[in-house]
Structure formats: structure tokens, C-alpha cells
Structure 1
């Protein structure tokens, strides 16, 4: 799962970043409200953990803005504002949950599990391109009559490409799905994941755009004669 962490307390932010990555999440961390809003409007995330008192743009304004734009991204507000009225404002603005500081990391993990379960059960998100069907809640890929649960890295890459079929996905953008905005560990890791995905979806379905990146070909994903 790719998470946007928005927290301007650097000590707390670093602790949360390490904890979430230890749970195998891809995490991007910003400490500024405007940066957070830009990221949410231009990138795909599975969850946002959002402080309220932020430089430039307040967290409540961020939640209101993305909801007005139709973004259903699950949002957990994390803040020192503990008054009931402020909690109600956060929930009324469109947040899915509200956790006050100080908090136990175990509780945050439980809230993340609860929010993602709740949102996946109320709005099941299945991506379909040709014969490919990807359940984004479970990570299960169905190709024709065969199904498999993808490894996290393969899921992150294929999910992005299925959301943008027939569009070139640059190496940088795909690596962001794996590592966030920090540099990845191995230079050839992306090629290895693409190789594994091609074995599942067909070599012609994921085309190499030399010197740029990769493209999910919706016509190749249809196969013959399953799609017109």
C-alpha cells in the first residue's frame, strides 16, 4: 500500500516513516500542507495520514479540497487537537478516522487496518483492462480463468499501469510506486518485476518504450479471440 504521510514534527515523522515501511508499505513523507495538496492532486495513494496544523495549508482545508474534487482516498487525521468540536470538524470535512496525539503506534496500525477494510468493503475497486482484472483490495489478479495474488511490488506496478492503460509509464513514476520519492535499492529491480509480470499477463501486454519506460497495451491485454 502506498501511503502519504503529512507531518511537520520531524522526530515523530521519522518514527512513523520507519514503522510504516517496516510493515512493507511504500511511504512518502511531506511536512508542508501545500506539498501535501499537490501530491494528493497529482499522485495515486492508497491512504493519507494527515496532521492538521501544517505550514501554508491547514489539514482540514486539504481534506475538504480533495473531497470536493471527488477523491475518495481514505484519510486518517493525526493531530494534537483533542477537543470534540475539532474532531467533528475533521470527520465532517470528510476524514475517515481521527487519532489524537500522543498515540501508540499499535493503535495507528489498527486504525489503518480498520479504515482500509471499511473503505474496501464499501467501495470495491476492481481494475479491468481486457482480460486482466485486478482486485485492489486483495491484490488478486485474474487473467481469463486463472487467478493469483501478486507480490506487493508486482501489485504496485501493475495497479498503476492498469489505471493508465496505453499511456507511457516512465521508470521514475513506476519506481515511485515501489519506493516513494526516495531512490530505490537496486538499479535493475524494476526490470525484474516487469519480467515477472509479463509471465503473468503476456509479454506483448507490457511493452518496453526504449529509453523512457513501459506501456500497458490494452489491445494486447484483450487477447484473441476474447476481446473485439
Structure 2
């Protein structure tokens, strides 16, 4: 299990350093961004459990970062930081899809309490990412991860991947995939299984992973990794 990973986008360098230290001390893993453009880049390249965005940032402001996330269909929890205390400004942020709004200056205890409330976790919480060999699955952000590389998954690819990870080197039957992903049995859904697994296999390979999705003809699929590394984590 890994520490929860947060993105802090704050252009005031001194405040950013202080907040990173507070969050790290609380058990979180933190990446800092100095402006909205850098925040968007990191959000595209990495998976996070929460984004903390200052509204007034250079290049791209926090509200634009938030709206961009929501337009992409990302439901990542977002907390907005601002020196603005006006009700209308807070309503704008919440209407744009923010989960919470914290006005500067604020106490460290309040920040940590709000993070726990948004992420529904206790202090120093960790998240479990299903893993097999060198592959990890981030179900929250629909990502397949290998090292620093990642591939976005469709809804059905994510469901299939989660089932494969759960069974690991054991067989995942076609019947299980039909029932748990598509529900109702039909020839169309059988074809959909093959297409979805094929696309998933291509993404695994594009990541440079040593893991393979092995076909048991007519029966189903299982995950395989080099000897000594073929275990779920």
C-alpha cells in the first residue's frame, strides 16, 4: 500500500514549502506545482488522491485547472485555496466542481481535517493499488501504471483489469467477465470481451511492462509475469 498522493498548486514559494512540509509530516506524499500550467501537466502524468489548487496562479488560474479536470470527466477531489473571502467567489469555485474551499490564512489543523473529510480517510492514510508484477492499477483515476508511465483505461477496460488483477495468475473465466462487466449474455458481449482484452493487452505492452495477459483458449484469461515476480501485491 502506498501513501496518499496529493498535488499542491501554489505560486507563493514560501507558503508552498510550508504546506508541503506539513502534509509530508502528516504522512502524505506531495508534489508541488508553481502555476496552473505545471499543475495540469502533472495531473496528466501522475495519479493523485486530491488536488489542492490556489485560485490566483500565473499562466493558468486554479479555477481553469478545476474546470479542465471536470471537462475531462475527472472526479478527483479538489480543494481550492484563496485569499478571497467573498461568498460569490466561493460559490463560483463550488459550482465549477470544487469539493471544498479554504480561505487564507488558515490553520494547519483545519487543512488536514478538511483533507480527511474530502478523502474520507484517517491521518496518515494509505491507499491500496492492486498490483501484479510491475503493473499497478489506479481504479480512482482509471489508469494502468508501470513505473512512471501510465495509460488511461475506458470504463470496461478498467472493470476487466480489476477482475484480472483480483485473480492474478489464476484463471479469470469468460463467464466471470460476461457476468461482472457486461451482465447479460449475448454473442455481442462475447465479442466485446475479446476486443476489450485485446485493447488492454496493447496498453500493457505500450507501457513496457513484463506482464502479459495470457489467453486460455475458450476458457478465459490470466496474468503472467517473469518467474519470481508473478504475484499480486
- Superposed pair shares fold, TM > 0.5: yes
Q: Which of these residues, 73, 77, 82, is aligned with residue 79 of structure 1?
A: 82
1:202-221 map, 5 Å: 214-219=209-214
Q: Shift in Å at residue 11 of structure 1?
A: 1.1
1:22-171 map, 5 Å: 22-117=25-120, 139=128, 158-160=136-138, 163-164=143-144, 169=146, 171=147
Structure 2 distance, partners of 1:107, 1:64, is 25
Alpha-carbon distance change, 22 to 84 in structure 1, aligned in 2, over 3 angstroms: same
Structure 1 gap ranges (5+): 119-136, 142-149, 175-199, 203-211
Structure 2 contact 213–221 (Cα < 8 Å) conserved:
no
* Structure-2-length-normalised TM-score: 0.58
The answer to which structure, 1 or 2, has the higher relative contact order (CA under 8 A, 6+ apart) is: 2
Structure 1 distance, partners of 2:16, 2:127, is 28
Please, what is the CA RMSD of the aligned residues?
3.7
Structure 2 distance, partners of 1:140, 1:24, is 17
Structure 1 contact 7–51 (Cα < 8 Å) conserved:
yes
Structure 2 gap ranges (5+): 151-166, 170-206, 223-233
Partner secondary structure for residue 81 of structure 2: strand
1:177-196 map, 5 Å: none
Partner secondary structure for residue 28 of structure 1: strand
Q: Shift in Å at residue 139 of structure 1?
A: 2.4
- Say how many residue pairs are matched: 161
Bigger CA radius of gyration: 2
Q: Which of these residues, 2, 12, 16, is aligned with residue 15 of structure 2?
A: 12
Structure 1 contact 41–66 (Cα < 8 Å) conserved:
no
Partner secondary structure for residue 164 of structure 1: strand
Partner secondary structure for residue 78 of structure 1: strand
Q: Which digits, 9 at most, give the CA deviation of each residue in 1:149-184, with x for residues without a partner?
A: x9xxx9xx733599327xxx2x4459xxxxxxxxxx
